[in-house]
Amino acid sequence: MATKRQAHTVWEGNLTEGTGTVTFDSSGIGDYAVSWPSRAEQANGKTSPEELIAAAHSSCFSMALSHGLAQAGTPPTRLNTQAEVTFQPGTGITGIHLTVEGEVEGLDEAGFVKAAEDAKANCPVSQALTGTTITLSASLA
């Protein structure tokens, strides 16, 4: 069965001086301030669409990698994944770099890298972002 998740944003003012609030409706986990400076300059305690994409991508990738490793008989003890989304004002999102370090019993570095590459290609968020260059660094702890 398909699931749907909702969030909404209320924006006030123009692009460069205005501010907004993103609300996570489905989970109820809270409201988060967004602004142009948090996107194009310094975060200053506010988030950005790119940080939200990074959160979505790092969590989706981790789930996909965990599932793939478990299906292969080598479930991970721990995965630490970072997604770095690069935003260039005037151009847009120019790339995403995933970095994952894993603790996996019974798996060598080559096997881990292969599983990570598969997760990168097949996690639903990666697939939704196919117009963006996604790179990966993967290593065992």
| Domain residue limits, the chain | 7-40, 49-140
Residues sharing a CB contact under 8 Å with residue 96, sequence separation 6 or more, in sequence order? 53, 54, 57, 83, 84, 85, 86, 129, 132, 133, 134, 135
Average pLDDT for consecutive 10-residue bins of the chain (141 residues)? 96 97 97 96 95 98 98 98 97 97 97 98 97 97 95
Q: May I ask the CATH class of domain 49-140? A: alpha beta
According to DSSP, the β-strands at 134-140 and 31-35 are: unpaired
What is the per-residue pLDDT for 47?
97
Residues 31, 42: Cα–Cα separation, whole Å: 19
Whether pTM > 0.85 for this model: the answer is yes
What is the per-residue pLDDT for 14?
98
What is the per-residue pLDDT for 11?
98
Are 26 and 5 spatial neighbours (Cβ–Cβ below 8 Å)?
yes
What is the per-residue pLDDT for 72?
97
What is the per-residue pLDDT for 133?
97
What is the per-residue pLDDT for 28?
97
Report which of 100, 13, 9 is spatially closest to residue 57, judged by C-alpha positions: 100
What is the per-residue pLDDT for 20?
98
Q: How much is the CA Rg of the chain, to the nearest whole Å?
A: 17
What is the per-residue pLDDT for 100?
98
